[in-house]
Amino acid sequence: GKGLAVFTSGGDSQGMNAAVRACVRMAIYLGCKAYFIREGYQGMVDGGDNIVEANWASVSSIIHRGGTVIGSARCMDFKQRAGRLKAANNLIQRGISNLVVIGGDGSLTGANLFRQEWSSLLDELLKNGQITEEQKTKYAVLHIVGMVGSIDNDFCGTDMTIGTDSALHRIIEAIDAIVSTAYSHQRTFIMEVMGRHCGYLPVVTGIVSEADYVFCPESPPPSDWPDKLCDKLIQERNAGQRLNIIIVAEGAIDRDGKPISAEDIKKVVVDKLQQDTRITVLGHVQRGGNPSAFDRVLGCRMGAEATLALMEATSESVPVVVSLDGNQAVRVPLMECVERTQAVAKAMADKNWELAVKLRGRS
């Protein structure tokens, strides 16, 4: 059967293991040889023990684990042609010409480039005597399928990325814990959450925790935000609230592009209102812990669909990412999604927040 390899790249997220597991088991079920590539693109470039055949049992008891058990990395070597040449050789020597990449837009862009370059890489390997004419013909096309693992929900083309729901669970557990102590002492809490350029985590957190104020990157407040914030906090206290909760994204800015940190907000609340104010920075706690049921199911469905998409790929078909559309796992053209995601980043950098939100679409 065909050789298929799966790897995780870029930042880790909860639910990646479920995706790896489903992808491997669907491959075995369909009669393919399935491989893990450890440590992302670095493992592909280094080869050796980093590329190992997987079996049914080797993905057992991982669905409940956070992070990615096969490791992830950022890899400078793969950004160079020399690194990609080594990677191509390592794959061909094992009979692999089907790749499932689980990562962010950078990882997917790298995979797409690798695919475009594949035949010229094979030419070079043949010229160097590293592969045979027969291998070149047999593995003439590299098929790739992507899945997006990210807690930020920052990728265009899918309603949810793998890991976002679990991160929200971590955040609301922490907020619920803080609300009880804030209530007892009549405190104001400022909670910093991840999602540097994407407001999904802070906005949803704000809704489900009944926060009083949310600072999110796509909706930056005017520079007089301190007055508006204080008015709102006073209004809440006057209405009988014993506490205030403020959510701030780690990448929050004002309309002029000036960063707004949790410390800045605390200073305003303390100086103007003399409220007992504390900051909680959740940091990597948001990436940690077991995946939620939603992320496990999402990983399972996407992983299985990714393998199916690879098996159906032809030399003419465009590479796809497996996405969630409503309640369906669907295939969408990879580069369209990557380009839209990059256009959002550009719109954000240009301070064109309306365009950024429009481009991002439904989620």
| Residues catalogued as catalytic | 152
Residue number, nearest CB to ligand ATP: 106
- Is there a binding annotation on residue 176? no
Q: Which helix (H) or strand (E) holds 190?
A: strand 188-193
Known binding residue 363? Answer is no
Is 170 annotated as contributing to ligand binding? no
DSSP 3-state of 54: strand
Which has the closest alpha carbon to 28: 63, 53, 55? 55
The answer to whether the beta carbons of residues 34 and 24 sit under 8 Å apart is yes
Instruction: Give the interface with ligand ATP as residue ranges (CB under 6 A).
Output: 9-11, 41, 74-75, 78-79, 103-107, 109-110, 113, 150
Q: Minimum distance between the CB of residue 155 and ligand ATP, rounded to whole angstroms?
A: 8
CB of 344 to ligand ATP, least distance (A): 13
Residues with Cβ within 8 Å of 211's Cβ and at least 6 positions away in sequence, in order, are: 191, 205, 245, 246, 247
User: Which residue number, 178 or 338, has a Cβ lying nearer to ligand ATP?
Assistant: 338
Quote the CA–CA distance of 159 and 141 in Å, as a whole number.
30
In the bound state with ligand ATP, the residue whose beta carbon lies nearer, of 9 and 275, is 9
Q: How many residues does the chain have?
A: 363
Q: Tell me whether residue 195 is annotated as binding.
A: yes
Cα angle: 222, vertex 223, 229; to 5 degrees: 80
Looking at beta carbons only, is 44 or 175 nearer to ligand ATP? 44
11 annotated to a ligand binding site: yes
Q: CA 209 → CA 44, 191, 198, 269, 296, distances in Å?
A: 43, 11, 19, 20, 24
Nearest to 5 by CA among 13, 14, 20: 20
Closer to ligand ATP by CB, 144 or 245: give it.
144
210 Cβ contact partners less than 8 Å away, ≥ 6 residues apart? 245
> Taking the complex as a whole, how short is the minimal distance between the CB of residue 35 and ligand ATP, in angstroms?
18
8 A C-beta contact, residue 109 and residue 341: no
Over the range 43-60, which residues count as b (16 or more CB within 10 Å of their CB) and which as e? bbbbbeebbbebeeebbe
Residue placing its CB nearer to ligand ATP in the complex, 12 or 236: 12
> For 102, phi and psi rounded to 5 degrees?
-115, 110
DSSP state letter for 235: H
Classify residue 212 by its DSSP letter: S
Annotated binding residue 284: yes
Question: Does 325 count as an annotated binding residue?
Answer: no
**CB of 101 or CB of 190, closer to ligand ATP:** 101
285 is in an annotated binding site: yes
Residues making up the binding site for substrate: 150-152, 187, 194-196, 250, 278, 284-287
Residues making up the binding site for Mg(2+): 105
Residues making up the binding site for ATP: 11, 74-75, 104-107
